Amino acid sequence: MNPLIKVLGCQRKMANRIAFSLCLLFSGVLFSTEAAVAEGWQQTLETSVSKLLANLDPQTNIFVEQPTDAAREAAYFPFLETVQSVIKSSALASGQRILQGPLQADYYLRTGFQILDSGMLLTPALIEAASGTLFSTTVVDLPAVALPSSWKRRALRDIAHELAAKLARNRQVLFHSNLPVVIEELTGGNTEEDHYVSEFAITMRGYIREELGRFGSLRPMTVAAGQSDNLQPYRLKGHYQLSGASVILRLVLLDSEHDQEIANVSSRFGTSVIPSGLTVLPPNQVVAAETQDPVQTGADTSAGKSVAQSSAKTSQRSPTQLTLWTNKEDRVYYNDDPLVVYLRPSGNLYARVYYVQSDGAVCEIFPIRSGNGYLRAGEIHSIGESGSNVELTISDETVGQEAIKVFTSSAPIDDSGLPKEFIDGPNVFCMVDDYGTLARGLTRALKKTARVRPTAELKILVSKD
């Protein structure tokens, strides 16, 4: 009997675990739970792969793919790297030629896996490279008692690898090479509306950036590097949400030119994966909640509506939109660190830039004194550089999330009616009242009936050494 017919005949009987046990008894290609315990999972898998390749001519070119999650979640477990190595070793021992890449392969050895309460179920399959048809397949049931204690263990970096791999395999990205991408903010909280930055968020953002660099399709770059006139880098945004004992982390890849979604991927994992010392929410969450302000990407505050509302057909960016970044790529600041804020508008505009401290205090850092806040299209303007009118230095007297909020308009913004006082040392105006007073005052200054929201916002994390 052909191995493919033998195995598939058993699979039709696999309606439940009892039927599956019958298949194990009669097929000779599937392997029992008892055998896996007695022989050890590696020997069981090696024997299974050897029989899977038994009908191939020696020295056949085979590419062994990385095992993939057969479930919709498509999760990544580092233990599967070891599984892949065992499969390669078994194929070599069977006399086959194992290739480093898929281009010259005669067959692909593709393995799906399922994580069960009882252990791991593997389904190695041999696929003809030329036709894509299934040549033979088998099922290997590896009970948890036969596997190493760490087989289901994952770390945050593994979650980042999983997300990066999902992006790299997305059909909109897969056949490209070296696409530039800027990693923007990763924020989250208890709900979809929460956009806090925390130690967890900063750490995951760094891991995702590193893991994306391991794939050839996407090339991570800094926001500053992405400001070159001959570049239109993709933008990657992230959001996480706590859901009971789980975290759902989603990434969205955007086309910068048209601000359109190219791809989105997600991962669900247990909070137990997060190290105990890594906070998921900022220490000043209560204060930060009072300054939450959903950013209207592409919003034109002079018109009081978004680009999509004003013209659904246009692909041009709003004339009052700008790019915002700081002098530290990881956006983590410590006591006495200098802070420099950079702005690059897509069109000529007027701006007011406010710094919201972790204790809720708000200071205007641009323009200075009597300036009107005019910015020229395409030019990079810095706030806080050494020797400039304003020098910004971080203090850790209060720690947690702090924010830079930019309000823009096509006409000068008159905020003279806001309750504020001039602070001579840092050379800035600071609000007498809270952020809510500022937002309401700017709405009146721009003569809007609905509350004006920032055109751009960037969150940083102030931490103790």
Closest CA to 408 of 339, 347, 327: 347
What are residue 188's phi and psi, to 5 degrees?
175, -160
What's phi and psi for 167, nearest 5 deg? -65, -45
The string of DSSP letters for 403-465 reads EEEEEEESS----TTS-EEEETTTTEEEESS-HHHHHHHHHHHTT-SSPP--SEEEEEEE---
Name the residue with higher pLDDT: 315 or 103: 103
pLDDT tens column, 77-95: 999 999 999 999 999 999 9
Beta strands in 36-173 (DSSP E): 61-64, 68-69, 97-98, 107-115, 119-128, 134-137, 140-143
CA distance 370 to 427: 12
Average pLDDT for 415-438: 81
Name the burial class of residue 198, with classes exposed (0-12), middle (13-18) and buried (19+) by CB atoms within 10 angstroms of its CB: buried
- If you ran DSSP here, which 8-state letter would residue 67 be given? P
Give yes or no for residue 18 having a pLDDT over 90: no
Of 158 and 310, more confident: 158
Q: What is the mean pLDDT of the chain?
A: 84
| Bigger pLDDT: 5 vs 463 | 463
d(CA 151, CA 20): 23
Residues 202 and 333: their CA atoms lie apart, in Å, by 11
All structural domains of the chain with their residue ranges: 3-146, 156-273, 285-462
Predicted confidence at residue 434, as pLDDT, reads 85
Mean pLDDT, residues 84-107 taken together: 95
Q: Which CATH superfamily is domain 156-273 in?
A: ABC-type transport auxiliary lipoprotein component (3.40.50.10610)
Strand 119-128 relative to strand 134-137: parallel, antiparallel, unpaired? antiparallel
Q: What is the pLDDT of residue 319?
A: 60
The stretch 441-460 carries a mean pLDDT of 86
Q: What does the pLDDT read at residue 2? A: 39
Q: What is the pLDDT of residues 370-419, one digit of tens each?
A: 788 999 999 999 999 887 778 889 998 889 999 999 999 988 888 878 88
Alpha-helical segments (H) within 184-271: 199-212
Give dist(CA 166, CA 252) in Å, integer: 11
Measured CA to CA, the distance from residue 252 to residue 439 in angstroms comes to 29
pLDDT tens, 321-366?
899 999 999 999 999 999 999 999 989 999 999 999 999 999 899 9
Mean pLDDT, residues 442-462 taken together: 87
CATH of the domain spanning 285-462? 2.60.40.2550
> What pLDDT does 20 receive?
38
- What local confidence, expressed as pLDDT, does residue 73 receive? 83
The gap between the terminal CA atoms of the chain, to the nearest Å, is: 68
**Identical fold, 3-146 and 156-273:** yes
According to DSSP, residue 196 is labeled B
Q: Which residues contact 82 (CB under 8 A, 6 or more apart)?
A: none
State what percent of residues in the chain have pLDDT above 70: 85
Q: Is residue 4 scored above 70 in pLDDT?
A: no
Region 175-199: mean pLDDT is: 92
Q: Residues 282-316: pLDDT tens digits? A: 999 999 999 988 655 433 333 333 323 333 333 34
Q: How many of the other CB atoms lie within 10 Å of CB of 165?
A: 19
pLDDT above 50 for 9: no
The DSSP secondary structure of 331-365, one letter per residue, reads -EE-TT-EE-EEEEESS-EEEEEEEE-TTS-EEEE
Better pLDDT: 259 or 435: 435
d(Cα 110, Cα 87) in Å, to the nearest integer? 10
Query: Which helix or strand (DSSP H or E) is residue 43 part of?
Result: helix 41-52
> How many Cβ atoms from other residues are within 10 Å of residue 133's Cβ?
9
Q: Work out the widest C-alpha separation in the chain, in whole angstroms.
A: 89
Residues 6+ apart with CB under 8 A from 179: 173, 217, 218, 219, 234
β-strands 119-128, 305-306 pairing: unpaired
CA–CA dist 428, 111 (Å, integer): 61
Q: Using H for helix, E for strand and C for coil, what is the string for 24-39?
A: HHHHCCCECHHHHHHH
pLDDT of residue 23: 40
Model confidence at 197, pLDDT cuts 50, 70, 90, reads very high
Structure tokens at 278: 């890594």
Confidence at residue 170, expressed as pLDDT on a 0 to 100 scale: 86
Q: What confidence category does residue 12 fall into, taking pLDDT thresholds of 50, 70 and 90?
A: very low
pLDDT (0 to 100) of residue 29: 45
Exposed/middle/buried for 395, CB within 10 Å: 0-12, 13-18, 19+?
middle
User: Do β-strands 119-128 and 140-143 pair in parallel, antiparallel, or remain unpaired?
Assistant: antiparallel
What are the tokens at 366?
């641009």
**Beta pairing partners, 252:** 237, 264
Q: Which residues contact residue 371 at a Cβ distance below 8 angstroms, ignoring those fewer than 6 apart? A: none
Higher pLDDT: 91 or 35? It is 91
CATH class of 3-146: alpha beta
Q: Residue 22: pLDDT band by 50, 70, 90 thresholds?
A: very low
At 230, the pLDDT band (50, 70, 90 cuts) reads confident
Distances in Å between the Cα of 117 and the Cα atoms of 143, 152, 155, 300, 304 are 9, 11, 20, 53, 54
With 80 as the cut, is the pLDDT of residue 17 above it? no
Could you tell me the pLDDT band of residue 25, with boundaries at 50, 70 and 90?
A: very low
pLDDT of residue 220: 94
pTM: 0.81
pLDDT of residue 450: 77
Burial 210-230 (b: 16+ CB within 10 A, else e): ebbeebebbebbebbebbeee
